[in-house]
Chain A
């Protein structure tokens, strides 16, 4: 069996707006794949295309060895979807919505349903119109996570959840991949969530993937933050290629170094006799901001 989601060169326009501009995305079976991008970058459009709600203009798109448009019904028995802004039927209770969606997906795991309702601290007897945004989100999450499906498509699923519930969400998703071997495509811009759950990520901007790979690899490709205290003043850092955001204060140095510049930087610092040193890998935030700032300046 090949990858769970395989998208190549996907295009989708709405009138004159190009939502997707040749997107590539590949999600392996059993992984939690982080799908990052700012507002309006095409994340939700991608998910809707995967759900067969929208029709692609061009490109290749395979979902669980099927075509999202023509095999929609068969595929929808194997996946559950949580939209970013959950709108429920105001006169149905949360419990009824969970049952309805579960049945329409092909069945709920009863034990999971009960367990999740308890862990998410949800009152299933309340009418949907009386739920807050966070509680509506919980209803959709319970319905999705309690379904007996191998794939979850989650579009900013924790928007509106309190920190406690966010932690519960992380635990539950982590369990469902570890225990049930589920595949998850998690669209989000909560970076800590992605860092916690995902091994591999894809970052998109203007409807195109700008980075994809494992977090470790991406970190290696990115600038490392180096802070050092030396005996003598290290000379030559200003002109060294691959050095960024340099701040020197006498013998104290703070900088960001491109991966292939690290070796040169360390030699130069060592020559000035290092007395204290911290080197930290880039956080996802650094990664994200770096990509966006550079991509932004390119396009301008």
Chain B
């Protein structure tokens, strides 16, 4: 028996289990890529002066998220610019997610033990997981390429660069996922390592793109290597070799570790814990808080760093105000509501970070789903803890946690902008602007609460809803969707702050909706079958 025996069986098993999620991600990425490419050509007729257009993409908000617009820029460059980053992110998440799912998750659940007792090679599960993950990344890339060609982007070297842009991070995070699965004994830990590295890589790339003196940082992150491909700009292909090498090194490391370790173990060994529970661990609130605390702390630190980083860019935003072309475009983009580029910048950043904060709220509410799935809800509800308490033990931390994150982000971006500017009014302005998003966030949390009140199996629906809200908020305008569809996202009704109207009415209405959703969810939860 070779160490790869049965890899084929495992691949077929994985494909059977993932027959929905892989095509779904590939199709979703293709749809977004195709339509946003097409939207660029529809929006700007050929012959549009590139100079002014390029300038709009030079703003820090765009640079922080999408990197530098490749040069020399054409409409094709712009058509593929934003979806390059989005697709690369999707490929990275897909890659580590699939590798983790078919290695550490299965191992922790004991499923691999069942299979390992059959005629199965020691390295077969890792090989199968990597094959499936890389295959899925390749499929997504091929669909994405087909979609942009459909959208009107001409075929050429740029097409290859675009494909490599997506493949690179996919390859690297397949390797990251493989190594993380060796290091951590738990699926949760492996996912945490992969996601944390993704966040760090993205942050490093944002800093490298924003600061001229720190632009060398781009050589340290897979997203930077992808940026060096200069898709539909200079079209360099060789930087892909870096991603390829790093991916190969990571994968080799994973194989070496896999071949040496015991089944079920990781590099990080478990340590004994306290034999008695501390006084705080006495009910559903205490229990949730215990697992939520480190997570909220991590999110808060990330939000604070992000806020400080994005706040320091306040000056570079100012410089661009002198250009009249930009001033016109800003007024257009903001629907005439915003008075300055600085305000537009902050407003866009606050919306984006607000969306991320909403994800924290969702994961917290959706712990109701995982608790029920795992049988924890059954055990806890057999004690004197009422359903109401159990439900609120998730809903209240979800709501408060998102508010904490908004405060942390608003305060840190405000403080750092104030220090740059020497004008401390930014602190209160941005703090309040950040908090003004709370009603929209709470609506999203409320939808999750209602879903959990109806049935625990509705968790995927909640994520689908969130994805829809995110796409509408980020790309709704770019995709030129009708306003009534965009209005479906609660963030469309958030006030455009700073600079816009406070919009007390819509904030009050959204708060009322959020409360109604939560109450409906609670009411259903106390009346349905659990477990």
- B379 lies within 8 A of A48 (CB): no
Given A48-B378, A89-B287, A130-B270: A105 and B383 within 8 A (CB)? yes
Q: Which of B120-128, B341-349, B523-531 contacts A (4 or more CB under 8 A)?
A: B523-531
- A95 lies within 8 A of B274 (CB): yes
Chain A contact residue count (CB 8 A cutoff)? 43
- Chain B binding surface SS class: loop
Closest to A48 in B: B531
Partner of A87, one of B276, B291, B375: B375
- A95 lies within 8 A of B276 (CB): yes
Task: Return chain A residues, CB-CB under 8 Å to B528.
Answer: 55
Which residues of chain B in 97-137 are interfacial with respect to chain A, using CB atoms and an 8 Å cutoff?
108
Given A87-B374, A96-B281: A53 and B273 within 8 A (CB)? no
Q: Is B283 an interface residue (CB 8 A)?
A: yes
Closest to A52 in B: B381
Of A53, A86, A87, chain B has the most CB atoms within 10 Å of the CB of A53
Question: In the bound complex, what is the Cα–Cα distance between A77 and B384 (angstroms)?
Answer: 5
- B382 lies within 8 A of A54 (CB): no
Q: Nearest Cβ distance between residue B368 and chain A, in whole angstroms?
A: 14
Given A85-B375, A96-B276: A51 and B281 within 8 A (CB)? no
- A104 lies within 8 A of B275 (CB): no
Q: Nearest Cβ distance between residue A147 and chain B, in whole angstroms?
A: 9
Given A96-B281, A124-B275: A104 and B186 within 8 A (CB)? no
Closest to A91 in B: B291
Question: In the bound complex, what is the Cα–Cα distance between A91 and B290 (angstroms)?
Answer: 10
Binary contact readout B262-284 vs A (1 if CB under 8 angstroms, 0 otherwise)? 00000000111111110001111
- B283 lies within 8 A of A103 (CB): yes
Q: Is B332 an interface residue (CB 8 A)?
A: no
Binary contact readout A97-112 vs B (1 if CB under 8 angstroms, 0 otherwise)? 1111101111000000
Partner of A83, one of B281, B291, B379, B384: B379
Given A77-B384, A100-B281, A100-B282: A55 and B529 within 8 A (CB)? yes
Partner of A55, one of B273, B274, B527: B527
Closest to B373 in A: A87
Task: Return chain B residues, CB-CB under 8 Å to A64.
Answer: none
Question: In the bound complex, what is the Cα–Cα distance between A80 and B531 (angstroms)?
Answer: 17
Given A96-B277, A104-B283: A73 and B384 within 8 A (CB)? yes
Task: Return chain A residues, CB-CB under 8 Å to B108.
Answer: 129
Chain B contact residue count (CB 8 A cutoff)? 38
Closest to B294 in A: A91
- B382 lies within 8 A of A129 (CB): no
Q: Is A126 an interface residue (CB 8 A)?
A: yes
Q: Is B220 an interface residue (CB 8 A)?
A: no
Of A77, A92, A100, chain B has the most CB atoms within 10 Å of the CB of A100
Q: Is A76 an interface residue (CB 8 A)?
A: yes
Closest to A74 in B: B384
- A101 lies within 8 A of B527 (CB): no
Closest to A133 in B: B110
Task: Return chain A residues, CB-CB under 8 Å to B375.
Answer: 83, 85-87
Binary contact readout A176-196 vs B (1 if CB under 8 angstroms, 0 otherwise)? 000000000000000000000
- B274 lies within 8 A of A104 (CB): no
- A104 lies within 8 A of B273 (CB): no
Task: Return chain B residues, CB-CB under 8 Å to A55.
Answer: 527-529
Q: Is A127 an interface residue (CB 8 A)?
A: yes
- B274 lies within 8 A of A54 (CB): no
- B273 lies within 8 A of A93 (CB): yes
Closest to A79 in B: B382
Q: Is A81 an interface residue (CB 8 A)?
A: yes
Q: Is A290 an interface residue (CB 8 A)?
A: no
Task: Return chain A residues, CB-CB under 8 Å to B381.
Answer: 51-53, 72, 76
Closest to A125 in B: B272
Q: Is B380 an interface residue (CB 8 A)?
A: yes
- B383 lies within 8 A of A96 (CB): no
Closest to B379 in A: A83
Closest to B375 in A: A87
Task: Return chain A residues, CB-CB under 8 Å to B384.
Answer: 73, 76-77, 104-106
Q: Is A140 an interface residue (CB 8 A)?
A: yes
Closest to A50 in B: B382
Task: Return chain B residues, CB-CB under 8 Å to A77.
Answer: 384
Q: Is B325 an interface residue (CB 8 A)?
A: no
Partner of A73, one of B286, B379, B386: B386
Q: Is B49 an interface residue (CB 8 A)?
A: no
Given A73-B384, A104-B283, A104-B384: A93 and B378 within 8 A (CB)? no
Task: Return chain A residues, CB-CB under 8 Å to B529.
Answer: 53-55
Closest to B377 in A: A53
Q: Is A40 an interface residue (CB 8 A)?
A: no
Q: Is B17 an interface residue (CB 8 A)?
A: no
Task: Return chain B residues, CB-CB under 8 Å to A98.
Answer: 277
Q: Is A90 an interface residue (CB 8 A)?
A: yes
**What are 13 A-B pairs at a CB distance below 8 A?**
A55-B528, A73-B385, A76-B381, A86-B375, A89-B291, A92-B290, A95-B273, A99-B282, A100-B281, A100-B282, A100-B286, A105-B383, A140-B379
- Contact surface of B with A, Cβ cutoff 8 Å: 108, 185-186, 188, 270-277, 281-284, 286-287, 290-291, 374-376, 378-387, 527-531
- Contact surface of A with B, Cβ cutoff 8 Å: 48, 51-55, 72-73, 76-77, 79-81, 83, 85-93, 95-101, 103-106, 123-127, 129-130, 140, 153
Besides A99-B282, A126-B272, 6 more A-B contacts (Cβ < 8 Å) are A53-B529, A76-B381, A80-B382, A86-B375, A87-B375, A100-B282
